[in-house]
Amino acid sequence: MSRIKLDQIALSRSGDKGNISDISLFAKNLEVYELLKREVTPERVKEHFAGLCTGNVERYEVPNVLALKFVLHDALGGGSASSLRMDNLGKSLSAALLRMEVEVPDYILAGIEIKGPQIYSIF
């Protein structure tokens, strides 16, 4: 069992609308997807973003693309037009989620090519 950051086993993409950020987390294979469903819960994501996300965190499973979608309410300091934060958009939150650490069985890691963070954003 190894404790690693999500960036070693997943890809991410994020966006924003008003004071809501959404983050999609994509598994590299089915075993990783099952692990993500167990390890990356709405409660853990809310804890990971403590101080930034003051609202609820919802999670949606998207198994056909091996993804989890998280919707973080009240996560952007009021939104881009009213926030005083340095980065008031949700684009950077995907990178922040990839820094979350999880416990991963070694047999899952053996089947994955480990690379650096993979972040996708559409501007």
Query: Per residue of the chain (123 residues), what is the pLDDT tens digit?
Result: 899 999 999 999 988 787 888 999 999 999 999 999 999 999 999 999 998 899 999 999 999 999 999 999 988 765 555 544 445 456 678 889 999 999 999 888 887 766 555 555 443
Q: What is the pLDDT at residue 89?
A: 54
Contact indicator for 1, 101 with CB cutoff of 8 Å:
no
pTM comes to 0.82
Structural domains in the chain, CATH included, are 2-77+86-114 (3.30.70)
Cβ(75)–Cβ(52) below 8 Å: yes
pLDDT at 84: 44
